[in-house]
Amino acid sequence: MRLGTHVLRNTLFVAPMAGVTDRPFRQLARRFGAGLAVSEMVGSRLELRGSRKSRLRLVHDGEPAPVSVQIAGADPAMMADAARYNVDGGAQIIDINMGCPAKKVCNVHAGSALLENEPLVARILEAVVGAVRVPVTLKIRTGPDPGRSNAVRIARIAEAAGIQLLAVHGRSRACGFSGPVEYRTIAEVKGSVGIPVIANGDIETPADARRVLEYTGADGVMIGRAAHGRPWIFRDFEHFLATGERLAAPGAAEIGAILLEHLAGLYVLYGEEQGVRVARKHIGWTTRGLPAAEEFRRMANGIDTACAQRTAVEQFFARLAAGDAALALGQRGANDRYAAARIPHAWDARERRAA
């Protein structure tokens, strides 16, 4: 896929997730095969740019091209200015957030709240596209609520405004992250526009990705929660979609090395104190389903120095390494059990029959 002058390795996208897809996570995901990793959402309001949180979200040093930055807001002029500001700071793609259902975002009429106001959507998109000379992409939901699906109309507005790629989370704003994903709506969006459409929502396994691509006709998939603690899954998705075969699950040594690399990146970006705090959730996600993970997670959450945290992770995976073959099978099983628990939401019986 080509976006402007950028040719992407594939059409596997990392969903922008606040508090997750910071620079260390994006770097790992890209190294393991993601074609594009969109940054955490940054606000368009001028007074927020100087905050520590905003500054850290705009650190792109060492990040592979193309750098995609997601912006959020409800004022066309402010969004245009935010786009220019981020391009000046190194963004090579600007992504517009019209998909976030969080109350604190929607309460200021941004994110998926914008889907209520189609004329404003058009003004924002036109302002941002006109403000920068880099590709502009858009992420949306299916509509304000299940009874008011307007994704097709929004998609046509986006294409007319010059948006070059559209990602669709197959739920409405009201649904948040629960309930079945409307893959049928994503298929309708794909059939209504000529720009690339990326499917998003409960795509947990490589097999899910293939089913969704076949059913919707989408040009690619966007992976979010399934990548928590597992940045290597993009390697699995890429291989399966190319060959139809599953890769062997990573063993203890590789998982431990990946996690330690992730921790090192967090310490550098955030500093030791905050880096240790941010790392705790990644440790929990990465060790999920492994032997003695719960006990280790509880212990690790009480650690408050980088050295001790790193040592604990090293020792945990060293203890597992002796049973590496069993771990690999257990890790595959844990991944599949986690995905299976979500499949009724991701691919309900009605959608399977339609497909």
Domain ranges of the chain: 2-243, 248-355
- CA 239 to chain CA centroid, Å, is 19
Phi, psi of 13 (to 5 degrees): -110, 145
Phi-psi region of 138 (alpha: psi -120 to 50; beta: other; left: phi over 0): beta
Contact 174, 141 (CB under 8 A): no
Length of the chain: 355
Residue with tokens 């257990």: 330
Question: In 130-202, at which residue ranges do the beta strands (DSSP E only) sit?
Answer: 136-141, 165-169, 197-200
Alpha carbon distances (Å) from 52 to 84, 94, 262, 270:
20, 21, 21, 10
The CATH T-level fold of domain 2-243 is: TIM Barrel (3.20.20)
- AA letter at 283: I
Of 113, 35, 124, 39, which is closest to residue 78 (Cα–Cα)?
A: 124
User: What is the rounded CA–CA span in Å between residue 162 and residue 134?
Assistant: 11
Residue 100 appears among annotated catalytic residues: yes
Alpha carbon distances (Å) from 202 to 49, 154, 261, 336:
32, 22, 27, 13
Q: What string of pLDDT tens digits covers the 355 residues of the chain?
A: 999 999 999 999 999 999 999 999 999 999 999 999 999 999 988 777 878 888 888 889 889 999 999 999 999 999 999 999 999 999 999 999 999 998 889 888 888 999 999 999 999 999 999 999 999 999 999 999 998 999 999 999 999 999 999 999 999 999 999 889 999 999 999 999 999 999 999 999 999 999 999 999 999 999 999 999 999 999 999 999 999 999 999 999 999 999 999 999 999 999 999 999 999 999 999 999 999 999 999 999 999 999 999 999 999 999 998 776 445 545 555 555 444 434 333 344 444 333 3
DSSP bridge pairs for 223: 14
